[in-house]
Amino acid sequence: MTIRSSRIAVAGGRRTIRVFEAGEGAPLVFLHGAGGLSEEDPFLAALARRWHFFAPLLPGYGDSEDAGDLRDMLAIALHGFDVIEALGLDRPILVGHQMGGMIAAEMAAIVPREVERLGLIAPAGLWLDAYPVPDLFAQLPHELPALLFHDPALGERILAASGDLDDPKRLEAFLIRNARQLAMASKLLFPIPERGLAERLYRIRARTIIIWGEEDRLIPSAHGEAFRRAIAGAELVRLPAAGHMVAVEQPEAVAAALARLE
Amino acid sequence: MRFIWFNLMPWPYLPEDFREKYRSVWVDIPSTLYDPVRGHEVYNAYLDQLEFAEAVGFDGLGVNEHHANAYGLMPSPSLMAAALARRTSRAALVVLGSSIALYEPPIRVAEEFAMLDVMSGGRLVAGFPVGTSMDTNYAYGRVPALLRERYAEAHELIRRAWAAEEPFVFNGRFTQLRYANCWPKPVQKPHPPIFIPGGGSVETYDFCIENGYNYSYLSFYGYLRAQRLMANYWQRVAELGADDSPYRATFAQCICVADSDAEAERLYAPHVGYFFNRCLHVYPGFADAPGYRTIKTIQAGFLNQLSRANLGQAASLSWQELIELGYLVAGSPDTVRQRMEELIKTLRVGNIICLLHLGDMPTEKTCYSSELFAKKVMPHLRGIWKDYDGDERFWIHPLVRRAEPGRTIPEVRP
């Protein structure tokens, strides 16, 4: 499978973003989480085996240009529709992980008639006092594998792709990438990853599948239950032996669960 | 030269094993380590020291703003300045808060600073820090990526509120006021001198130079490590075609003075150790939330040198090493004079913020060190920038006739 990668203009040329794309079949748009998305992500390969997927990088990620005018959830959710428009798609399956799931759920709540099938993979967006989400913005790099992955060794291999951070050039590149990405993410996730979504979930009309790794240490799976209760007719699929990065750890199982949207 | 006496107001009772038992002096430090009864004594002792500093001849008294921080017990610097306004009569009140992006609506800062300026008869130096990431993002929950935009908007509102003669409509992105109307107005016209504490953000240079503000580099790393940053600042001053008056710049330095070099080490080493070991023990996860620094600043490349992790290094240094590396200027009046002269000339600064209280230093030692500095060091440094003596742009302009606290109270008969 070859991933096609292109830059497209959205919102009448106001923003330029990177989009990955592959596969055949029904169109599916995948919105990534705060950590961004690489072309090598095994989940993209799993998506391409079933759908024609489009994975746009949010402004601030990769070579998607920074967008100072995207300051809050409403602007970012509308940007999501701008992207679908620019791709020429009509009501694609909408899937998002973590921050991307939060955006996807928001889009489905804001314009319920435009989102008919919704896949939420460990979405952020709720705050439950009994199940707090750790502060993603106060983690040291070496703490991330254990927080995000069921298998920290796998997490270390994946996150080590940034290379040796003792090398000043690589450190600077890492700091800049991290600053751009998480600066954007901070608009939705800082200091608490909640922007009132709970009050709007009742508007969602989409057929909804919620997928959670049972060993998720970033967003406890109790959040999955809360999403399921709040969205009419939603199904919750819990995957054992998977952490927050469930789509990386078990790409086939996540794609199979999403296939229930068909 | 002008000298500002400054006390961070640290909590002086952190346990000896603080570094081992707690991950940070800031943000998530448990407040069980604080004791308000002892705190009462501590605040009053620190205010005594500031009043003493005026009495021995310092030009300004400095206070600043931190939140959830055991080395800086001033969440509201304006409260401390208000206490000082009534108990001092001459010195500038250098308020290196308020962090204007933290207040909603920010016209509150315009009002409080105007109150301080009026109460003190025009002795306010108004500091507008962006604030550290620990204070603004972690302790006060401001979204890192929007902090500087908020700051710019708050700055615009405050400046307009001070200048406007009529109520005006302010339509900001973060603050909307139908009736922006600042009562009272500051004594100093068009506004009190404004100091901007900077810590390596390159955008701050231009902001200061273009607005005629003083650039204050508040570092605990000492003057040797500040040379590159200040050289870049002066280069930017030249590029923008501004004059090179040293009064455009302020630098903070940890200083200890005693009769001899040996006495300085004997008297102050434990307190300096407390400062670098316990006060500056900050969890690296709380340094610079992503988005707090601009990309331009990261690319300018001194963040590595400035990173909070670097402070960990200071914790392991000996007294001699702290002095050699410039973290600390300490010793006899002669030694201190010589190093201060070198500092002032190499950084080209007209104001020194003198950190003469460090860590858990008791008042007696603090006053001893401060008085030696005022009497035996300051007079020799006063004339370094005598060619710029007439430059009053960056300093206070108090009323000539100022009220005397208590004078209007009628005598109480027994």
Establish if B300 touches chain A: CB-CB under 8 angstroms: no
| pTM, full prediction | 0.94
Residue A4 vs residue B300, higher pLDDT = A4
Contacts with B303 from chain A: Cβ below 8 Å = 175
Residue B199 — very low, low, confident or very high, per pLDDT cuts 50/70/90?
A: confident
pLDDT of residue A135: 96
Q: Looking at this predicted complex, what is its ipTM?
A: 0.92
Q: A168, B290: Cβ pair inside 8 Å?
A: no
In this predicted structure, the answer to whether residue B303 has a pLDDT above a threshold of 70 is: no
% residues pLDDT > 70 (chain B): 97
In this predicted structure, the answer to whether residue A238 has a pLDDT above a threshold of 50 is: yes
Q: A190, B137: Cβ pair inside 8 Å?
A: yes
- Segment B372-392 shows an average pLDDT of 96
The pLDDT mean for chain A works out to 95
Residue B11 — very low, low, confident or very high, per pLDDT cuts 50/70/90?
A: very high
Residue B199 vs residue A146, higher pLDDT = A146
- Segment A189-210 shows an average pLDDT of 98
Q: Which of A167-171, B194-198, B285-289, B302-306 has the lowest mean pLDDT?
A: B302-306
Q: B289, A190: Cβ pair inside 8 Å?
A: yes
- Cβ-contact B65, B99 below 8 angstroms: yes
Angstrom CA distances, B245 to B205, B250, B388, stand at 15, 11, 7
In this predicted structure, the answer to whether residue A162 has a pLDDT above a threshold of 70 is: no
Residue B308 — very low, low, confident or very high, per pLDDT cuts 50/70/90?
A: very low
Contacts with A138 from chain B: Cβ below 8 Å = 27, 138, 283, 285-286, 289
Q: A171, B146: Cβ pair inside 8 Å?
A: no
pLDDT of residue B300: 76
- Segment B48-58 shows an average pLDDT of 98
Rounded to the nearest angstrom, the minimum Cα separation between A232 and chain B is 32
Contacts of A145 (CB under 8 A, 6+ apart): A152, A153, A154, A155, A156, A159
Residue B306 — very low, low, confident or very high, per pLDDT cuts 50/70/90?
A: very low
Write out pLDDT tens, residues A97-140.
Answer: 999 999 999 999 999 999 999 999 999 999 999 999 999 999 98
In this predicted structure, the answer to whether residue B360 has a pLDDT above a threshold of 80 is: yes
- Give the number of other CB atoms < 10 A from CB of residue B321: 13
Q: Identify the contact set of chain A against chain B, taking CB-CB distances under 8 A.
A: 68, 71, 137-140, 143, 168, 171-172, 175-176, 178-187, 190-192
